[in-house]
Amino acid sequence: MRHTATLLAAMALLAGCGEPITTEATDFQPRVAESQSFGAEVSQQLADLRRVTAAFHDFDAASHAGWGTPITGCMTDAGGAGGMGFHYGNTGLINGTATVENPQLLLYEPEKNGRLRLVAVEYIIPYAFHSRDAEPPVLFGQKFQQVDSFQLWGLHAWVWKENPSGIFKPWNPNVGCANATASVSMSH
């Protein structure tokens, strides 16, 4: 528990300044590249994930449901691989487990109109729960990646904005932070 508190404190230090800008419900529909075929089971899991996160296009709904803790500012890759946006977490879910229906983080991209657009989710398992030296956790048939800068395992799922690099890749070249008031550039 002490490790989780330390992790959350460190992540909070990276959080952007100010209050999140809420967004209204949106008609945005996922456009996951059809060329990315993962089989029937994973396709169903991705559909389930979209179903359980659809209401979170409205940031207020996500916040009321537990995903209101700012974890990072708007993140872009210093190496030019793209962005991730703002990460908001449900700290009650950061418990060493990962299930399709309960992503620990929701990722939002800032828009020109001041709204936040839900673009992806991220599953995280801190090293305190699953050693860095252990075999990677697996979800959607994908191995989690080590994120040493945050001392955790992570797996992204770009279910609300197409990622030409791949649905499970960390950075999305179609996501940027140009409309953010606070951003963080980093590599991982």
What averages of pLDDT result for each successive group of 10 residues across the chain (188 residues)?
44 40 44 61 94 97 97 93 96 97 97 93 98 97 96 98 95 94 53
Q: How far apart are CA 23 and CA 59, in angstroms?
A: 6
Residue 17's pLDDT is 36
CA distance 40 to 22: 35
Q: Which residues pair with 170 in a beta bridge?
A: none
Q: HSE on the CB side for 26, CA within 13 Å?
A: 21
pLDDT of residue 69: 97
pLDDT value of position 182: 53
pTM above 0.95, yes or no: no
Contact 173, 64 (CB under 8 A): no
